[in-house]
Amino acid sequence: MLRILFAWLVIACFCQTANAANFNDPQSMLSLDSDVVFAVSNSAELTGDEQWFYSADVIERAPSQYLHFKVRVFNQLDTQVPVWFSISFPAIKRLTVTDGTKRWVTGDSLPFSSRPVNAPNYHFPSILPPSAYTEFSGTMTGEILRYSFSVATPEYYSNLYMKTLQRDMAFFGAMGLLTVLCTLGFIASRNLVFLSFASFIFTITFWFFRVFGYAFELLWPNTPSLNDISYAVSIYSVLITAFWVLFQTLARDNHEVYGAKPVKRFCAILPFMGILLWQSVGLDSALKLPVILFFPFLLIAGITIFVEHKRGSDRAKWLAAAMLPVTFSTLVLTVIALFEVELYLEPIATFMTGLVMTCLFMVALTANYMVKVVQRERDAQKEAAQLKSEQTFKLEALVRERTLALEQTNSALAELASKDSLTELPNRRTLDLFVDKTFDKTLHDHAALAIALIDLDHFKSINDTFGHNVGDEVLKGIANILAPLNNADQVAARYGGEEFAIAKRVTQPNGNQSSEAEEFAKQLEIVHRAINQLAIASIDDRKLGACIGWTLCKGSDDIVEAFRRADKALYVAKDKGRNLIIPAL
């Protein structure tokens, strides 16, 4: 029996240390949540006696203790891959991460500039060597720890952030317009219903702005102490303004809404309850309190609407209909947040949609009520019509302004995604798209593609001797030589580091291919000569050299092999003494 138990322990320990996530697709994100192991200690340094677990939920941890984590990623590809090790949905005071080569220290308690990548989530740039393991490890501390581990290429996350940014900006634009519209409605009518709507929409918008991480970057990047305070203020304000909207919408002259007095008293003491819970139990419980109270809020809202409907309130039934979208989306978001239930709905998008629909419905409901009121008096009707015209004009102007701003943002993001930031040449992604489109028969009829890879000689020596700033100056000088080559049928791009690439479409299918190859070779000689003649004062007019390997790619099936041939020819040039042009036809 003891032998069996000992064998089981050995197997368990071996599996725990030998398990690794396999990275094999640069086009997708690799989730690491099921592969990460955790341990708890009283210091940031490991003693070797810690017990590791595959889930942090089974570990008892005091707020002052350190949660250690580690995960191994095996690159199944035969090439090195630049990746970002990512921690999504973070709530971490201090975070330390290392990949064995580099070490980063960041967290919510540090300025936003401490993040290795300028993004709401935490990303740590690393490189997965070919057919080898990379271990990511680190520690995190804080009263609240929320995280999700993954790894993917920078291009994948950039595309993901672009889509998320478009969604978020559309949501914030819509909510901002609704806030302005409700504020204008209050100014024009002095009806507190509009003001309650404006307050609720503003608080929920600010809460999302804070939760999505934009507030960290834009509002207080150097004051991280405001993070917890802003979150607490926003989430408690959302609940209080939701109650205000409920009772203000049902309010009538000389009539007290059912349950209004006890709810007002409760809203008055709610912030003090949160502070008391924070000091006695912990920050996590204090922040969960208003989220949990949304369930009683929905119950109270249902009872109040039912009673007021029985008392003859015509607005009660319309308010109930208006609350259905946000009620459903709130339930989805709350269930996922509190119970970690996986539903077939994207929680954030569902909640955003429900919230916008409810706000639009309630604004329309109130506007309809106001129209009925102003119709009783002819003069009031004229004023309301004029006000509505002014509001429509301002709303259209705001829509055009936000639409133009969104288009400009999308255009800027598209340009950033297609160019190398240092040399302003097309980047590798643009080169790959150019190559793929070349053999797309629906777009072009090209039969071949001339490909050249250029590698600067002794560039590392320039960086080591004169500094990286001078190295950047050299790269920009090379870019000035290559930039005029870019046109509809040719791309000269920065391939990575000190490597550049040229891809030119061959338009003649068979007979004239050799002549076009000779023309491409002459072009490479001109480029090579220009590189040799390039004078950089910062490197004491040291002559620059470059190895060039080139070949012809004869179809979409030959793309990968063509780049390998060009790369192999480039290394042949290096072996033969550098500063040479070697074809591989």
Strand pairing category for 21-23 and 66-75: parallel
Pairing of strands 30-31, 133-141: unpaired
Q: CA 180, CA 469: separation in Å to the nearest integer?
A: 48
Catalytic residue among 155, 390, 407, 498, which?
A: 498
Which contacts qualify for 256-264: CB closer than 8 Å, 24 or more apart?
Answer: 257/304, 257/308, 258/303, 258/304, 258/307, 258/308, 258/311, 259/300, 259/303, 259/304, 259/307, 263/300
Q: Which residues contact 106 (CB under 8 A, 6 or more apart)?
A: 94, 95, 97, 114, 115, 116, 122
> Which residue is associated with the tokens 């592969």?
35
> Is 498 annotated as catalytic?
yes
Type and span of the H or E element at 491: strand 490-496
Q: Is beta strand 448-456 parallel, antiparallel or unpaired with respect to 103-106?
A: unpaired
8 A C-beta contact, residue 137 and residue 68: yes
Distances (CA, A) of 346 to 211, 216, 332, 349, 359: 16, 24, 9, 6, 20
Q: How far apart are CA 570 and CA 556, in angstroms?
A: 22
**Do the Cβ atoms of 506 and 550 come closer than 8 Å?**
no
Measured CA to CA, the distance from residue 491 to residue 426 in angstroms comes to 7
Q: Which amino acid is at 184?
A: L
CA–CA separation, 430 vs 155, rounded Å? 12
Residue type, 493: A
Secondary structure (H, E, C), 353-385: HHHHHHHHHHHHHHHHHHHHHHCCCHHHHHHHH
H helix or E strand, kind and range, residue 563: helix 559-575
Contact 438, 505 (CB under 8 A): yes
Catalytic residue IDs: 498
